[in-house]
Amino acid sequence: MHKGLYLIVELRFTNNTGTLTTTTRTLGAGGSSAIALGSGDYEATIADSTDDRMNTLEVIFESDRIWDPASGSANDYPFGTDDGYGGRFQIKYNKTMITDNGVIDKIWFPVTQFEGESIFENFVIRMAESPREGMLFYDDFESNYAGATPVTVLNRAIYQVRNLGYAVVIDLDNVFHYTGEHDILIDFQLQNRTGDRVSVLRNMNDGGYRAWNVTWGGNYAGNDTGTYHMYIDFVHSESGIEYDGVALTNATTYYWRVRTCDSTGIWSDWTNHQFKYEELSSAPEFDALVVDPAPVIVDNLVTVSIDVTYFLGVNEVLLEFDGSNHSMTAAGDTYSFALTPTTVANITYTIYMESIIGTWSSTSGLIVVTEAPAGGLDTTTLLIIAGAVVLLIILILVFKRKK
């Protein structure tokens, strides 16, 4: 509902039963009523009587007003830019302008005309809480996130921005949770705009910022302190209820239902749901256990590596030897640990792998530690010498062939 329009509430019914009730009304208070009574008047288009009266009414608005001053000037960015052109547009609101937090479901922008719906091609909206203070950059949009990771809340090949009566609404597809710690940044990217031109309302120097690179009678890129009138629909986490009953039984189907009560005490119908509870007992899977080199010479480095996977994720992988556990370093699915044995021995080890849900797998192996070869040459030195000998033989053969 736009504050510049009249509100009409129309009730139609074919019959009524139960206890009748009456409402409070006032004459000559700025409203009027029209009534059609009797058989067939459910379809009537002409009233039997009209009165200059108002019934007491309370209207509850669900959206949070972020910025909607008494007046504002029209602006075509981004809903009224030129047809057939793409562009990018960012707006940022100071956190002091936003008095609520939670999951954002919809965003609304008051506009200057009732009719008109813009259509965007390859339309992407990203949102973030940006720690950047002050003006936005129009020549480096990504830097405006100031290290924050944006969330893609809308990504459509074709998206029609609905005009619901002097306000356009964007219904977000993905979850973005606003905590209120930083300013909120909304990033629009589009490849093409068609349909009607719609002008939104904005004021200058009122606590927000914008940056743009769009086509509007020519290419425009810039930034300023423009603040757009905006409303946000929050879905609050307080609506969730944590289960604290008895422990669930494995392989059992549970049935549950829910209903809600509004601020006037009216309850909704029950909605019925069910789910089957099954405990996960699978453990991490592993492969490619490697000890390199094998055997290893005393005082040389040896690495134990193994590939570990679990569909929900791996919590940690430990290498146990000599009575101590050592965390293995992850590189993708490969976990490794390096050590330098100082004595000749057969080191028995066990690798323990824990999944994200606390299930375990394990496997064991042996690290064989030997003395250096006679003459004090270790494996690496012997390989270098062998390579040099082979290279020398090749050079001699090539020299003889030339002669």
Angle at 294 between CA 288 and CA 298, to 5 degrees: 140
User: Does the structure show a pLDDT above 60 at 193?
Assistant: yes
Cα–Cα nearest to 230, from 5, 58, 60, 79: 79
**What value does the mean pLDDT take over residues 99-110?**
88
Q: Is the pLDDT of residue 69 over 90?
A: no
What Cα–Cα distance (Å) separates residue 261 from each residue in 64, 94, 264, 268, 269? Answer: 20, 33, 8, 6, 10
Q: What is the pLDDT of residues 220-275, one digit of tens each?
A: 999 999 999 999 988 765 556 778 888 888 889 999 998 877 656 778 889 898 98
Share of the chain above pLDDT 90, in %: 49
What's the pLDDT score for residue 221?
Answer: 95
Q: What is the pLDDT of residue 376?
A: 54
What is the rounded CA–CA span in Å between residue 34 and residue 91?
Answer: 45
The one-letter amino acid code at 39 reads S
- Predicted local confidence at residue 318, as pLDDT: 96
Sheet of 324-327: strand order equals 296-297, 360-370, 345-355, 314-321, 324-327
pLDDT at residue 369 is higher than 70: yes
More confident residue, 113 or 379: 113
Q: Is the pLDDT of residue 17 over 80?
A: yes
User: Would you state the pLDDT for residue 214?
Assistant: 96
Range of weakest confidence among 41-50, 59-68, 167-176, 295-304 = 59-68
Q: What is the pLDDT of residues 117-152, one digit of tens each?
A: 899 999 999 999 999 999 999 999 999 999 999 999
The mean pLDDT value of the chain amounts to 86
Contact predicate 79/159, CB 8 Å: no
Confidence bin at 58 (pLDDT 50/70/90) = low
Predicted pLDDT of residue 384: 66
Residue 118's nearest CA partner among 145, 148, 78, 88 is 78
pLDDT tier for residue 324 given thresholds of 50, 70 and 90: very high
Query: What pLDDT was estimated at residue 167?
Result: 87
Per-residue pLDDT band for 95 (boundaries 50, 70, 90) equals very high
Residue 144 has a pLDDT of 96
Which of 44-53, 133-142, 163-172 has the highest mean predicted lDDT (pLDDT)? 133-142
Summarize pLDDT for 198-212 with one digit per residue, the tens: 999 999 988 899 999
Q: What is the pLDDT of residues 328-348, one digit of tens each?
A: 999 999 999 999 999 999 999
CB 52 within 8 A of CB 32: yes
The CATH class for the domain spanning 285-375 reads mainly beta
What is the percent of the chain with per-residue pLDDT over 70, rounded to a whole number?
88
Confidence category of residue 395, pLDDT binned at 50, 70, 90: low
| pLDDT at residue 398 in the model | 60
Strands 360-370 and 296-297: parallel
Domain ranges of the chain: 1-60, 64-237, 243-277, 285-375
pLDDT > 90? residue 370: yes
Question: Where residue 352 falls among pLDDT bands split at 50, 70, 90?
Answer: very high
